[in-house]
Amino acid sequence: SAAGGHRVVCYDTLLDQQSGTHARLAAELRHALDDGEFHLLYQPIIDLGSGHVTSVESLIRWQRADGRVVSPADFIPVAEETGLIVELGAWVIDTASAQAADWHDRHGPHAPKVAVNVSARQLLDPALPRTVAAALARHSLPPHRLTVELTETAVFGGGPALATVRALAELGVAIALDDFGTGHSSLSLLRTCPVDVLKVDKSFIDGLNGAPEQEAIAVALSGIATSLHLRTVAEGVETAAQADRLRDLGYHHAQGFHFSRPIPADAVDALLPAAEPAALR
Ligand code: C2E
Ligand code: MG
Ligand code: MG
Ligand code: MG
Protein backbone atom coordinates (compact mmCIF):
# COMPACT_ATOMS: atom_id res chain seq x y z
CA SER A 1 0.00 0.00 0.00
CA ALA A 2 0.97 3.66 -0.27
CA ALA A 3 1.53 3.76 3.46
CA GLY A 4 4.31 1.22 2.90
CA GLY A 5 3.15 -1.13 5.61
CA HIS A 6 3.05 1.57 8.26
CA ARG A 7 -0.71 1.57 8.44
CA VAL A 8 -1.78 2.25 11.99
CA VAL A 9 -5.02 0.71 13.10
CA CYS A 10 -6.09 2.02 16.44
CA TYR A 11 -7.79 -0.34 18.84
CA ASP A 12 -11.05 1.62 18.87
CA THR A 13 -11.31 1.32 15.11
CA LEU A 14 -10.75 -2.42 15.30
CA LEU A 15 -13.44 -2.76 17.92
CA ASP A 16 -15.83 -0.71 15.79
CA GLN A 17 -15.13 -2.92 12.79
CA GLN A 18 -15.67 -6.04 14.84
CA SER A 19 -18.93 -4.86 16.35
CA GLY A 20 -20.04 -3.74 12.89
CA THR A 21 -19.41 -7.23 11.55
CA HIS A 22 -21.12 -8.64 14.60
CA ALA A 23 -24.21 -6.45 14.17
CA ARG A 24 -24.40 -7.33 10.47
CA LEU A 25 -24.16 -11.06 11.24
CA ALA A 26 -26.86 -10.71 13.91
CA ALA A 27 -29.20 -9.02 11.41
CA GLU A 28 -28.40 -11.61 8.74
CA LEU A 29 -29.24 -14.44 11.11
CA ARG A 30 -32.65 -12.91 11.78
CA HIS A 31 -33.37 -12.79 8.04
CA ALA A 32 -31.94 -16.26 7.49
CA LEU A 33 -34.46 -17.66 9.97
CA ASP A 34 -37.34 -15.81 8.30
CA ASP A 35 -36.16 -16.89 4.84
CA GLY A 36 -35.68 -20.57 5.71
CA GLU A 37 -31.92 -20.65 5.11
CA PHE A 38 -31.26 -23.16 7.92
CA HIS A 39 -31.38 -26.92 7.61
CA LEU A 40 -30.42 -29.89 9.74
CA LEU A 41 -27.97 -32.64 8.93
CA TYR A 42 -27.94 -35.86 10.96
CA GLN A 43 -24.82 -37.70 12.05
CA PRO A 44 -25.29 -41.43 12.73
CA ILE A 45 -24.44 -42.80 16.19
CA ILE A 46 -23.49 -46.47 15.97
CA ASP A 47 -23.98 -49.28 18.45
CA LEU A 48 -20.46 -50.71 18.69
CA GLY A 49 -21.83 -54.16 19.48
CA SER A 50 -24.20 -54.59 16.53
CA GLY A 51 -22.81 -51.99 14.15
CA HIS A 52 -26.33 -50.60 13.68
CA VAL A 53 -27.32 -46.94 13.62
CA THR A 54 -29.33 -46.50 16.81
CA SER A 55 -29.56 -42.73 16.91
CA VAL A 56 -28.52 -39.60 15.09
CA GLU A 57 -27.40 -36.17 16.23
CA SER A 58 -29.00 -33.21 14.46
CA LEU A 59 -26.47 -30.54 13.48
CA ILE A 60 -27.57 -27.20 12.11
CA ARG A 61 -26.29 -25.69 8.87
CA TRP A 62 -26.84 -22.23 7.42
CA GLN A 63 -26.83 -22.15 3.64
CA ARG A 64 -26.74 -18.55 2.54
CA ALA A 65 -28.48 -17.28 -0.60
CA ASP A 66 -25.14 -17.32 -2.45
CA GLY A 67 -24.74 -21.03 -1.65
CA ARG A 68 -22.02 -20.68 0.99
CA VAL A 69 -22.55 -22.95 4.00
CA VAL A 70 -21.71 -21.40 7.37
CA SER A 71 -20.60 -23.62 10.24
CA PRO A 72 -22.50 -23.46 13.55
CA ALA A 73 -19.27 -22.59 15.34
CA ASP A 74 -19.39 -19.29 13.43
CA PHE A 75 -22.99 -18.30 14.11
CA ILE A 76 -24.30 -20.10 17.23
CA PRO A 77 -22.26 -17.81 19.55
CA VAL A 78 -23.78 -14.73 17.87
CA ALA A 79 -27.28 -16.21 18.03
CA GLU A 80 -26.66 -16.84 21.75
CA GLU A 81 -25.55 -13.28 22.42
CA THR A 82 -28.50 -11.72 20.63
CA GLY A 83 -31.00 -14.17 22.11
CA LEU A 84 -32.08 -15.34 18.64
CA ILE A 85 -30.93 -18.82 19.71
CA VAL A 86 -34.22 -19.22 21.58
CA GLU A 87 -36.28 -18.93 18.39
CA LEU A 88 -33.67 -20.74 16.28
CA GLY A 89 -33.46 -23.47 18.90
CA ALA A 90 -37.25 -23.88 18.86
CA TRP A 91 -37.03 -24.36 15.08
CA VAL A 92 -34.31 -27.01 15.58
CA ILE A 93 -36.37 -28.85 18.22
CA ASP A 94 -39.50 -28.83 16.06
CA THR A 95 -37.69 -29.87 12.86
CA ALA A 96 -35.74 -32.66 14.56
CA SER A 97 -38.89 -33.91 16.33
CA ALA A 98 -40.80 -34.00 13.03
CA GLN A 99 -37.97 -36.03 11.48
CA ALA A 100 -37.79 -38.38 14.48
CA ALA A 101 -41.56 -38.96 14.26
CA ASP A 102 -41.30 -39.65 10.53
CA TRP A 103 -38.59 -42.28 11.15
CA HIS A 104 -40.60 -43.72 14.02
CA ASP A 105 -43.71 -44.04 11.82
CA ARG A 106 -41.76 -45.76 9.05
CA HIS A 107 -39.25 -47.89 10.96
CA GLY A 108 -40.92 -48.52 14.32
CA PRO A 109 -38.51 -49.90 16.92
CA HIS A 110 -35.62 -49.72 14.43
CA ALA A 111 -36.04 -45.98 13.96
CA PRO A 112 -33.09 -43.89 15.08
CA LYS A 113 -33.57 -41.73 18.14
CA VAL A 114 -32.76 -38.10 17.45
CA ALA A 115 -30.56 -35.81 19.54
CA VAL A 116 -30.73 -32.02 19.52
CA ASN A 117 -28.09 -29.64 20.86
CA VAL A 118 -29.17 -26.91 23.22
CA SER A 119 -26.85 -24.13 24.25
CA ALA A 120 -26.37 -22.44 27.61
CA ARG A 121 -28.64 -19.52 26.71
CA GLN A 122 -31.51 -21.87 25.80
CA LEU A 123 -31.29 -23.53 29.23
CA LEU A 124 -31.80 -20.12 30.82
CA ASP A 125 -35.14 -19.83 29.02
CA PRO A 126 -37.78 -21.13 31.45
CA ALA A 127 -40.06 -21.86 28.46
CA LEU A 128 -37.68 -24.48 27.01
CA PRO A 129 -39.49 -27.49 28.57
CA ARG A 130 -42.80 -26.15 27.16
CA THR A 131 -41.18 -25.74 23.73
CA VAL A 132 -39.99 -29.35 23.83
CA ALA A 133 -43.33 -30.66 25.13
CA ALA A 134 -45.17 -28.79 22.38
CA ALA A 135 -42.93 -30.29 19.68
CA LEU A 136 -43.42 -33.82 21.08
CA ALA A 137 -47.19 -33.33 21.11
CA ARG A 138 -47.34 -31.71 17.67
CA HIS A 139 -45.57 -34.66 16.07
CA SER A 140 -46.90 -37.41 18.38
CA LEU A 141 -43.32 -38.33 19.24
CA PRO A 142 -42.76 -40.55 22.30
CA PRO A 143 -40.45 -38.53 24.60
CA HIS A 144 -37.76 -41.21 24.89
CA ARG A 145 -37.17 -40.89 21.11
CA LEU A 146 -35.67 -37.43 21.70
CA THR A 147 -32.35 -36.70 23.40
CA VAL A 148 -31.32 -33.24 24.54
CA GLU A 149 -27.56 -32.63 24.44
CA LEU A 150 -26.13 -29.99 26.75
CA THR A 151 -22.69 -29.22 28.09
CA GLU A 152 -21.45 -29.45 31.66
CA THR A 153 -20.55 -25.79 31.60
CA ALA A 154 -24.12 -24.80 30.73
CA VAL A 155 -25.45 -26.35 33.95
CA PHE A 156 -22.41 -25.65 36.10
CA GLY A 157 -23.37 -23.88 39.29
CA GLY A 158 -26.93 -25.20 39.32
CA GLY A 159 -29.57 -22.50 39.45
CA PRO A 160 -32.18 -21.96 36.75
CA ALA A 161 -30.33 -23.99 34.09
CA LEU A 162 -30.30 -27.07 36.31
CA ALA A 163 -34.00 -26.58 37.09
CA THR A 164 -34.68 -26.50 33.34
CA VAL A 165 -32.75 -29.75 32.81
CA ARG A 166 -34.76 -31.40 35.58
CA ALA A 167 -38.00 -30.24 33.96
CA LEU A 168 -36.81 -31.63 30.61
CA ALA A 169 -35.97 -34.97 32.23
CA GLU A 170 -39.47 -35.05 33.78
CA LEU A 171 -40.92 -34.89 30.27
CA GLY A 172 -39.20 -38.22 29.58
CA VAL A 173 -36.66 -37.04 27.03
CA ALA A 174 -33.12 -38.38 27.44
CA ILE A 175 -30.40 -36.03 28.67
CA ALA A 176 -26.88 -36.27 27.27
CA LEU A 177 -23.81 -34.45 28.55
CA ASP A 178 -21.95 -33.31 25.42
CA ASP A 179 -18.18 -32.85 25.12
CA PHE A 180 -17.94 -34.63 28.48
CA GLY A 181 -14.68 -34.13 30.33
CA THR A 182 -13.86 -30.73 28.88
CA GLY A 183 -16.17 -28.55 30.98
CA HIS A 184 -16.58 -27.61 34.62
CA SER A 185 -17.33 -29.91 37.49
CA SER A 186 -17.85 -33.14 35.56
CA LEU A 187 -18.20 -35.50 38.48
CA SER A 188 -20.30 -33.57 40.98
CA LEU A 189 -22.67 -32.74 38.15
CA LEU A 190 -23.45 -36.45 37.80
CA ARG A 191 -24.95 -36.36 41.30
CA THR A 192 -27.14 -33.31 40.83
CA CYS A 193 -28.13 -33.35 37.19
CA PRO A 194 -30.35 -36.07 35.69
CA VAL A 195 -28.16 -37.63 33.00
CA ASP A 196 -28.72 -40.64 30.72
CA VAL A 197 -25.83 -40.41 28.26
CA LEU A 198 -22.19 -39.32 28.50
CA LYS A 199 -20.73 -38.15 25.23
CA VAL A 200 -17.00 -38.44 25.78
CA ASP A 201 -15.22 -35.60 24.02
CA LYS A 202 -13.16 -36.18 20.90
CA SER A 203 -10.01 -34.96 22.67
CA PHE A 204 -9.98 -38.16 24.79
CA ILE A 205 -10.72 -40.36 21.79
CA ASP A 206 -7.91 -38.84 19.70
CA GLY A 207 -5.31 -40.24 22.11
CA LEU A 208 -6.44 -43.88 22.00
CA ASN A 209 -3.82 -46.37 20.79
CA GLY A 210 -0.90 -44.17 21.65
CA ALA A 211 -0.99 -41.94 24.68
CA PRO A 212 -1.37 -44.02 27.88
CA GLU A 213 -2.71 -41.07 29.94
CA GLN A 214 -5.40 -40.36 27.39
CA GLU A 215 -6.36 -43.99 27.30
CA ALA A 216 -6.48 -44.10 31.12
CA ILE A 217 -9.00 -41.24 31.09
CA ALA A 218 -11.10 -42.92 28.40
CA VAL A 219 -11.14 -46.11 30.50
CA ALA A 220 -12.03 -44.23 33.68
CA LEU A 221 -14.90 -42.35 32.02
CA SER A 222 -16.31 -45.59 30.67
CA GLY A 223 -16.07 -47.12 34.15
CA ILE A 224 -17.88 -44.20 35.77
CA ALA A 225 -20.61 -44.35 33.14
CA THR A 226 -21.08 -48.08 33.60
CA SER A 227 -21.29 -47.90 37.39
CA LEU A 228 -23.83 -45.08 37.16
CA HIS A 229 -25.83 -46.96 34.50
CA LEU A 230 -25.24 -44.27 31.91
CA ARG A 231 -24.80 -44.94 28.23
CA THR A 232 -21.54 -43.81 26.64
CA VAL A 233 -21.02 -42.30 23.23
CA ALA A 234 -17.46 -41.77 22.03
CA GLU A 235 -17.31 -38.61 19.89
CA GLY A 236 -15.06 -37.89 16.96
CA VAL A 237 -14.07 -41.48 16.08
CA GLU A 238 -12.02 -41.22 12.92
CA THR A 239 -10.30 -44.62 12.56
CA ALA A 240 -11.18 -48.32 12.67
CA ALA A 241 -8.44 -48.79 15.27
CA GLN A 242 -10.16 -46.30 17.61
CA ALA A 243 -13.52 -48.02 17.11
CA ASP A 244 -11.99 -51.44 17.92
CA ARG A 245 -10.26 -50.07 21.01
CA LEU A 246 -13.45 -48.38 22.22
CA ARG A 247 -15.38 -51.64 21.89
CA ASP A 248 -12.70 -53.38 23.98
CA LEU A 249 -12.88 -50.62 26.59
CA GLY A 250 -16.62 -51.16 27.01
CA TYR A 251 -17.96 -48.16 25.12
CA HIS A 252 -21.53 -48.70 23.94
CA HIS A 253 -21.84 -46.21 21.11
CA ALA A 254 -19.64 -44.18 18.83
CA GLN A 255 -19.95 -41.32 16.41
CA GLY A 256 -17.45 -39.87 13.99
CA PHE A 257 -16.18 -39.52 10.47
CA HIS A 258 -15.02 -43.18 10.52
CA PHE A 259 -18.69 -44.19 10.47
CA SER A 260 -20.31 -41.23 8.75
CA ARG A 261 -20.16 -37.49 8.44
CA PRO A 262 -23.34 -35.52 9.17
CA ILE A 263 -25.71 -36.30 6.25
CA PRO A 264 -29.22 -35.37 5.07
CA ALA A 265 -32.16 -37.27 6.59
CA ASP A 266 -32.88 -39.29 3.43
CA ALA A 267 -29.27 -40.54 3.40
CA VAL A 268 -29.79 -41.82 6.96
CA ASP A 269 -32.73 -43.92 5.72
CA ALA A 270 -30.39 -45.94 3.52
CA LEU A 271 -28.34 -46.94 6.59
CA LEU A 272 -31.18 -48.28 8.73
CA PRO A 273 -31.19 -52.04 9.38
CA ALA A 274 -34.88 -52.78 8.87
CA ALA A 275 -35.68 -50.14 6.26
CA GLU A 276 -38.77 -51.38 4.45
CA PRO A 277 -38.75 -51.12 0.68
CA ALA A 278 -40.75 -48.05 -0.33
CA ALA A 279 -43.14 -50.27 -2.36
CA LEU A 280 -44.34 -52.06 0.78
CA ARG A 281 -45.17 -48.95 2.76
P1 C2E B 1 -21.18 -30.98 19.04
O2 C2E B 1 -22.58 -31.02 19.53
O3 C2E B 1 -20.14 -31.53 19.95
O4 C2E B 1 -21.22 -31.76 17.65
C5 C2E B 1 -20.16 -32.55 17.17
C6 C2E B 1 -19.32 -31.79 16.15
O7 C2E B 1 -18.19 -32.59 15.80
C8 C2E B 1 -20.05 -31.51 14.83
O9 C2E B 1 -19.56 -30.29 14.30
C10 C2E B 1 -19.60 -32.69 13.97
O11 C2E B 1 -19.70 -32.45 12.58
C12 C2E B 1 -18.17 -32.82 14.42
N13 C2E B 1 -17.65 -34.18 14.21
C14 C2E B 1 -18.33 -35.34 14.26
N15 C2E B 1 -17.50 -36.39 14.06
C16 C2E B 1 -16.27 -35.89 13.86
C17 C2E B 1 -14.98 -36.48 13.58
O18 C2E B 1 -14.81 -37.69 13.49
N19 C2E B 1 -13.92 -35.61 13.45
C20 C2E B 1 -14.08 -34.26 13.55
N21 C2E B 1 -13.00 -33.50 13.40
N22 C2E B 1 -15.28 -33.66 13.83
C23 C2E B 1 -16.35 -34.48 13.98
P24 C2E B 1 -20.53 -29.15 13.76
O25 C2E B 1 -21.70 -29.76 13.05
O26 C2E B 1 -19.69 -28.15 13.04
O27 C2E B 1 -21.12 -28.50 15.09
C28 C2E B 1 -20.26 -27.84 15.99
C29 C2E B 1 -20.98 -27.49 17.27
O30 C2E B 1 -22.02 -26.53 17.02
C31 C2E B 1 -21.69 -28.67 17.93
O32 C2E B 1 -20.76 -29.47 18.65
C33 C2E B 1 -22.68 -27.95 18.82
O34 C2E B 1 -22.06 -27.51 19.99
C35 C2E B 1 -23.04 -26.74 17.96
N36 C2E B 1 -24.31 -26.99 17.26
C37 C2E B 1 -24.54 -27.68 16.12
N38 C2E B 1 -25.85 -27.71 15.80
C39 C2E B 1 -26.48 -27.03 16.80
C40 C2E B 1 -27.86 -26.70 17.04
O41 C2E B 1 -28.80 -27.09 16.32
N42 C2E B 1 -28.12 -25.94 18.17
C43 C2E B 1 -27.12 -25.53 19.02
N44 C2E B 1 -27.47 -24.80 20.09
N45 C2E B 1 -25.83 -25.83 18.81
C46 C2E B 1 -25.50 -26.56 17.71
MG1 MG C 1 -23.71 -32.38 20.38
MG1 MG D 1 -20.05 -33.02 21.19
MG1 MG E 1 -18.27 -30.35 20.47
149 has pLDDT over 70:
yes
Mean pLDDT of 252-263: 98
Distance CA 243, CA 218 (A): 13
For residue 23, CA distances in Å to 10, 29, 66, 79, 261 come to: 20, 10, 20, 11, 32
* Cα 45 to ligand 3 centroid, rounded to whole Å: 12
Ligand 1 probe mutation, 29, 37, 59, most atoms within 8 A of CB: 59
Mean pLDDT of 137-153: 97
Radius of gyration of the chain (CA): 21
Question: Which one has a higher pLDDT value, 280 or 40?
Answer: 40
Dihedral of alpha carbons 52, 233, 166, 93, sign: negative
Distance CA 64, CA 29 (A): 10
- Which residues lie closer than 8 Å to 265 by C-beta, 6 or more apart? 40, 42, 99, 102
For residue 260, CA distances in Å to 58, 107, 236, 244 come to: 13, 20, 10, 16
**Region of poorest pLDDT, from 33-47, 49-63, 199-213, 219-233:** 199-213
Query: Do 233 and 252 touch, CB atoms closer than 8 A?
Result: yes
Mean pLDDT of 97-110: 96
The whole-number pLDDT of residue 210 equals 78
The whole-number pLDDT of residue 222 equals 92
Q: Which atom of ligand 1 is nearest to the CA of 257?
A: 18
**Region of poorest pLDDT, from 84-88, 94-98, 134-138, 211-215:** 211-215
Question: Which one has a higher pLDDT value, 6 or 76?
Answer: 76
Q: Which atom of ligand 1 is nearest to the CA of 179?
A: 3
* Cα 255 to ligand 3 centroid, rounded to whole Å: 10
| Tens-place pLDDT, residues 171-210 | 999 999 999 988 876 688 898 999 999 999 999 999 887 7
Ligand 1 probe mutation, 87, 92, 95, 117, most atoms within 8 A of CB: 117
279 has pLDDT over 50:
no
Mean pLDDT of 142-159: 93
- The residue nearest atom 41 of ligand 1, judged by CA position, is 60
7 has pLDDT over 80:
no
Q: Which residues lie across from 38 on neighbouring strands? A: 62
Query: Do 48 and 247 touch, CB atoms closer than 8 A?
Result: yes
Average pLDDT in the chain? 90
Q: Which atom of ligand 1 is nearest to the CA of 92?
A: 41
- The residue nearest atom 9 of ligand 1, judged by CA position, is 59
Mean pLDDT of 86-112: 97
Query: What pTM did the predictor assign?
Result: 0.92
| Tens-place pLDDT, residues 153-172 | 999 878 999 999 999 999 99
Mean pLDDT of 16-31: 83
Mean pLDDT of 252-258: 98
Q: Is the ipTM of this complex over 0.95?
A: yes
The whole-number pLDDT of residue 240 equals 96
Query: How would you label 120-131 residue by residue, b for 16+ Cβ within 10 Å and e otherwise?
Result: ebbbbbeebbeb
Distance CA 86, CA 79 (A): 8
Distance CA 116, CA 176 (A): 10
